[in-house]
């Protein structure tokens, strides 16, 4: 099974030793994406940060040959779980009828204190 690692042009440079996305056979593993734009700016609100992070997930997923309806697992980290309801409409629009397995965890902090959300995902692209 070949393993391909991708750095996706236009995405935020990793802050450590990792790549944006790995495709291992029929699986695509997406690193945690945050609500920081490639230019380093971070919106103050959770909804905007979630939209940016989900757009990065989608860009990297497509770069590796996947689609939203092939996502089988999502893990969301939030610094304030009370804001969960505000991101649900965005999730519903993105995934539509497809509902991946999902975990939502409140964390004390993310890599930058201005960050409020991080998303990682796994997709299965086999038949």
Which pLDDT belongs to residue 106?
A: 98
User: Using one digit for the tens of pLDDT, what is the confidence trace for 26-53?
Assistant: 999 999 999 999 889 999 999 999 999 9
Strands 71-78 and 117-124: antiparallel
User: Using one digit for the tens of pLDDT, what is the confidence trace for 100-127?
Assistant: 999 999 999 999 999 999 999 999 999 8
In the three-class reduction of DSSP (H, G, I as helix; E, B as strand; rest coil), residue 75 is classed as strand
Both tokens of 81, joined, read: 């779980």
Measured distance CA(97)–CA(65) in Å, rounded: 20
Q: Which residue has the higher pLDDT, 2 or 121?
A: 121
**pTM exceeding the 0.75 threshold for the entire prediction:** yes
Residue 97 belongs to a domain with what CATH number?
3.30.1330.40
Q: Tell me the CA distances in angstroms from 59 to 41, 84, 86, 92, one per residue in order.
A: 18, 23, 22, 18
The number of folded domains in the chain is 1
Range of the domain at 80: 3-124
- The pLDDT > 70 percentage for the chain reads 100
């Amino acid at each position: 099974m070949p393993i391909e690692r991708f750095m996706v042009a236009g995405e935020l440079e990793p802050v450590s030793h990792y790549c944006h996305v790995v495709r291992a056979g029929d699986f695509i593993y997406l690193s945690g994406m945050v609500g920081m734009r490639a230019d380093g700016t971070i919106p103050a609100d959770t909804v905007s940060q979630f939209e940016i992070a989900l757009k990065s997930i989608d860009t990297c997923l497509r770069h590796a040959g996947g689609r939203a309806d092939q996502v089988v697992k999502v893990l969301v980290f939030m610094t304030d779980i009370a804001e969960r309801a505000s991101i649900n409409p965005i999730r519903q629009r993105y995934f539509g009828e497809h509902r991946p397995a999902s975990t939502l965890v409140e964390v004390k902090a993310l890599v930058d204190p201005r960050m409020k959300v991080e998303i990682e995902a796994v997709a299965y692209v086999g038949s």
